[in-house]
Amino acid sequence: MTTTQIPTGIPTRTPEADVTVPTRTVIGQRVPKIEGTEKVTGKAQYGADTSRPNMLWARFLGSAHAHARIVSIDTAAARALPGVHAVVTGADLPGIVARISETAAAPEEFDVPSRGKRILAWRKAVFHHEPVAVAAAISPTIAEEALALITVEYEPLPVVLDPEVSMRREATPIHDGVFTETFAGKARTPSNVAKVTEMSKGDVDAALASADVRIAASFRTAMVHQGYIEPQACLAEYAPDGRFSIWTSTQGSFGVRSGLAGFLKVPPRRVRVTASEVGGGFGAKGAMTLEPICAVLAYVTGRPVKMQLSRSDVLRATRPAPDTSMHVEVGARRDGTLVAARAHFVWDVGAYPGGGSVGGINCSFGSYAIQDYHYVGYDVLTNRPSTGAYRAPNGPQGAYGVESALDMLADELGMSPVALRLKNAVAEGDRNPSDVPYPRIGLKETLNAIASHPAWTSPKSPPSREGWLRGRGVGCGLWGGGVGTSTAHININEDGSAVVVTGAVDLAGTRTTMAQIAAEELQIPYERVQVVQADTDVAPFSNPTGGSRITYSLGTAVYRAAIDARTQLRQRAATVLRCPPDDVEYRGGELWSTLAPAHRLTIGQVARGSSGSGQGPVVGTGEVTHLLRAPAFATQLVEVEVDPETGAVVVTNVVAAQDVGKAINPTAVEGQIQGGVVQGLGWALTEGFVYDNEGRLRNPGLLDYRMPTALDAPNVECLLVEVPAVDGPYGVRGVGEVPIVPTLGAVANAVYDACGARVTTLPISGEPILTALADPARGKSSVAWTPPALSLDIDVVIEEEVEEQEEVIE
Amino acid sequence: MPRMIVNARINGEEHELFTDPHRTLLEALRDTIGLTGTKEGCGTGDCGACTVLLDGSPVNACLVLAPEVEGKEVITIEGIATDNTLHPVQEAFVNEGGLQCGICTPGMVLSAVALLDRNPTPTETEIRYAIAGNLCRCTGYDKIVRAIEVAAEASR
Ligand code: FES
Ligand code: FES
């Protein structure tokens, strides 16, 4: 059981702010994106768009096997190819890093079961297409030719692809160095179960036994990819002064700086990271990928090196989202009150530890107040690519199981699925599965928004396609909210305009939101605010962008920076106006003394004067680390048509209600919701990695890895519910993660409503529907599931320090 | 194989592209003449991020070999705005929230421009059909469709 200390909240608005801002002007407005013009004209620079003179191109060779010992790698022919400047393998890395850092080579440090450390397969490859060697050459063509000249001798090992096999006691460990981590400590024997996450309360067996109605069902989702359209790309340059400059498509420039400095064993000041525009991240670009390889190649060759993944590299060898097998049991009283829940989640985290999460369990069951429960999650290693964060990591998979089970329960009780959820929905003071109480939240409000929407209250219309069946389903979901450190500077220019400087990466429009907050608090027009996302040498520190934290946390920093700038402006105006600062009124971008209101100064005049008067420029700073998390909830209604002949599913309509706290820019918020929902529809209906028995991905292209197109996507109507968050400015909540959480379950429930098929595997479309329709016990509880015998010996070492996992950013 | 020179008119200017014969128009645009507005999402014709207009028709530049554009007219995203004035489609994408990360945007804009050139009054289905080859992972397409509707209205 984890308990988290809740930090004390900060006041939401200073009293001063309320006095001087009588009405909001730009908060809540649909202003156009600040960087929109750059993006529609092709001028915005993404990861692959930066080049340097004399630049080399790098490509990597992937392992031919999903599990094999690497006997030898012969790179002589590749090195001899004219135009090739370097070929590097895992065995070369310790020596290169030792030279860079001027420390003794420590090969064993590169032979640890960590994706972040083992950037090139070392002695052993553990998933297919895992990078084994890299070549840098004067053109991409030559780099590719060089790879073709590398000979790798492999000794194939047995490939494990099924997590339920891999987690058994008798299974051969994929790594010698992975020992099961639990809240209590670490196991002593190596195992493919990298981690066990457990949460419980009360006596779940007794509570389940006493329930009037019980549902037990098993579900499985496929491994899916975040599907960002921009493949990872990076450019690195090494200067003779010992500094590395990195241009990369990342969600966190400071995260890359510390990660890379750690990898190269150099102080952070020797690394400068510039984040490019990011062509979609969704969690996947929170972890380092190409940066260490490019940095090493730049050092070895003395020339700038650019590397860009191909789409098949992206699909085969980045970090997708875990597939999840789960068994869910819920018990309720006749009136629908949930009394108990039990669940096992098996996350196939791929070939390296990481990828599972506590947040996933909190997202799955956290919507409901349940007295007695026991939840266990297992991070299980297999010979598939190691996994990572994808929008509300592991929430959508778990919520799919839980929301399906609740629908089965509603069916059993003869209750409306919305009424059942309303009856059990959490509210302020209820606790989440980690036993942390919720502050003010808006789940019930989102449920009520759906309950009263015509798409729910009106009778079902007949299907638009002949022979098809029509249905609708609902689902709920949440994201606990992201916090972390954010810093912002606001420079006031001599004309009264403002520049906000941050080191946080804008993934989809938060620069605009920050400009709105700064304009609001400085009381100047939005158009007069510029937002600069600066590199790590220039910008104030911020944690990476992820977990829906930016509007909330960086927004608080910008808000505080604006208040600070305003305070300084008042102080400076006081010297000009010869009155105490307390008597200076600041309104609408003007300052005056209450004693002589006729004499007015503009912000520009004060800013100009202050530099002449020897007081220096006005720079407001704002910093935030501790904020109370602001959980965000959503309820979605999905309408589908199903062809019972083929199992085809068409989504005809989605209504998405979400508690956004306060929509600073409703257009941007709706965009996040619509994008998340459509990703969820893809996950539910058509997306999924397919592997052959050797562990090779059979659909490594966007034709066969089928993401929704404009023809597949329905209109998504957004109902923005605004229950103000307790902390942070304006009551705002993060909005990015939660819209994908309810969608999978809502689709499954709509399909059941349409055709009576309770589909327990994703993706749903086609065969799974036909199989479910053919099952005589369809829609009823599925067979009970016993967790396989674990290789987890319970002699955990309590005292042992639990090794830090690589930081996962959502 | 030796490199070759390909002559083409790109965004209204004559260009000589010095390229390996097996490299694509996408690579020639981006790496030879530095027009990086055209994006690569897949390199296999499945995402539409590399859409350009070849003699007025939208094509995936990753599927066109550079030598194929000899003597032809190519319009990329850099050639859509004129004299610092946005094309109505670009303007509508900005105003209607038709972009988030923006990596699909150049391709989307070109597909939409090509559609409106042919059909100034498209229905929603026609719009969705015209951009069905352009994947967007951020927006769910709704606001892109709205933006194209608004652009169609504005161009009338
Ligand atoms: S890059 Fe050409 S279609 Fe994807
Ligand atoms: S805006 Fe990101 S892919 Fe379309």
Q: How near does any CA of chain B get to the CA of A708, in Å?
A: 8
Ligand 1: residue of B24, B42, B64 to mutate (most ligand atoms within 8 A of CB) is B42
For the CA of B62, the nearest atom of ligand 1: 2
Tell me which residue of A368, A361, A355 sits closest to A326, measured CA to CA: A361
Q: How confident is the model at residue A775 (pLDDT cuts 50, 70, 90)?
A: confident
Which residue of chain A has the CA closest to B76? A42
Residues of chain A contacting residue B36, judged by C-beta atoms under 8 Å apart: 42, 45-46, 48-49
Write the burial class of residue A76 (CB in 10 Å: 0-12 exposed, 13-18 middle, 19+ buried).
exposed
Mean pLDDT of A516-536: 94
Which residue of chain A has the CA closest to B89? A40
Q: How near does any CA of chain A get to the CA of B71, in Å?
A: 24
**Residue A506: predicted pLDDT:** 87
User: B88-154: same fold as B4-79?
Assistant: no
Determine the residue type at A669. V
Which residue of chain A has the CA closest to B93? A40
**Residue A793: predicted pLDDT:** 47
Residues of chain B contacting residue A35, judged by C-beta atoms under 8 Å apart: 102
Q: How near does any CA of chain A get to the CA of B62, in Å?
A: 12
Q: How confident is the model at residue A101 (pLDDT cuts 50, 70, 90)?
A: very high
- The more confident residue out of B62 and A108 is B62
Query: Cβ–Cβ of A282/B47 closer than 8 Å?
Result: no
For the CA of B133, the nearest atom of ligand 1: 3
% of chain A surpassing 70 pLDDT: 92
| Ligand 2 in reach of A40 Cβ (< 6 A) | no
- CATH among 1.10.4030.10, 2.60.40.10, 1.10.10.10, 1.10.150.120 for B88-154: 1.10.150.120
pLDDT in tens, A407-423: 999 999 999 999 999 99
Query: Cβ–Cβ of A229/B101 closer than 8 Å?
Result: yes
Query: Cβ–Cβ of B46/A701 closer than 8 Å?
Result: yes
Residues of chain B with pLDDT under 70: 1
CATH topology of domain B4-79: Ubiquitin-like (UB roll) (3.10.20)
pLDDT at A800 over 50: no
Residues of chain A contacting residue B46, judged by C-beta atoms under 8 Å apart: 311, 701-703
If you average pLDDT over every residue of chain A, what do you get? 91
How much distance in Å is there from the Cα of B98 to the middle of ligand 1? 20
Which residues of A are annotated as catalytic? 737
Three-class secondary structure of residue A705 per DSSP? coil
Q: How confident is the model at residue A616 (pLDDT cuts 50, 70, 90)?
A: confident
pLDDT in tens, A654-664: 999 999 999 99
Dihedral class, residue A154 (left if φ above 0, else alpha if ψ from -120 to 50, else beta):
beta
pLDDT at A170 over 80: yes
Mean pLDDT of A379-396: 96
| ipTM of the complex in this document | 0.98
* Sign for the pseudo-dihedral over CA of A119, A120, A122, A127: positive
**Residue A801: predicted pLDDT:** 38
Q: How confident is the model at residue A129 (pLDDT cuts 50, 70, 90)?
A: very high
Q: How near does any CA of chain B get to the CA of A411, in Å?
A: 31
Query: Cβ–Cβ of A709/B102 closer than 8 Å?
Result: no
- The residues in B 29-88 lying below 8 A from A, measured between CB atoms, are 30-31, 34-44, 46-47, 49, 76-78, 80-81, 86
| Ligand 2 in reach of B90 Cβ (< 6 A) | no
SS3 sequence of A782-798: CCCCCCCCECCCCCCEC
Within 8 A by CB and 6+ apart from A35, the residues are A44, A277, A506, A511, A512, B102
Nearest to A703 among B30, B46, B127 (CB): B46
| Ligand 2 in reach of B137 Cβ (< 6 A) | yes
Tell me which residue of B29, B15, B17, B31 sits closest to A51, measured CA to CA: B31
Q: How confident is the model at residue A6 (pLDDT cuts 50, 70, 90)?
A: very low
CB A357 within 8 A of CB A348: no
pLDDT in tens, A149-158: 999 999 999 9
User: For residues A658 and A667, what is the distance between their CA atoms, to the nearest angstrom?
Assistant: 14
- In this structure, the strands spanning A213-220 and A233-238 are unpaired
Q: How confident is the model at residue A24 (pLDDT cuts 50, 70, 90)?
A: low
Which residue of chain B has the CA closest to A739? B140
Closest protein CA for atom 3 of ligand 2: B136
* CA of A279, nearest ligand number: 2
Domain limits, chain B: 4-79, 88-154
**Residue A356: predicted pLDDT:** 72
Which residue of chain A has the CA closest to B98? A671
- Domains annotated on chain A, with CATH: 47-157+232-308 (3.90.1170.50), 484-624 (3.30.365.10)
pLDDT at A42 over 50: yes
| Ligand 2 in reach of B71 Cβ (< 6 A) | no
**Residue B83: predicted pLDDT:** 82
Mean pLDDT of A601-628: 83
Q: Which of A20-24, A233-237, A328-332 has the lowest mean pLDDT?
A: A20-24
pLDDT in tens, A239-269: 999 999 999 999 999 999 999 999 999 999 9
Three-class secondary structure of residue A93 per DSSP? helix
How much distance in Å is there from the Cα of A508 to the middle of ligand 2? 9
Ligand 1: residue of B62, B64, B131 to mutate (most ligand atoms within 8 A of CB) is B62
Closest protein CA for atom 4 of ligand 2: B136
Write the burial class of residue A784 (CB in 10 Å: 0-12 exposed, 13-18 middle, 19+ buried).
exposed
Nearest to B47 among A44, A702, A711 (CB): A702
Nearest to A230 among B41, B90, B132 (CB): B41
DSSP letters for A218-230: EEE---B----SS
**Residue A358: predicted pLDDT:** 83
How much distance in Å is there from the Cα of A311 to the middle of ligand 1? 9
Query: Cβ–Cβ of A42/B95 closer than 8 Å?
Result: no
pLDDT at A21 over 80: no
Q: How near does any CA of chain B get to the CA of A39, in Å?
A: 6
Residue with tokens 């947040």: A359
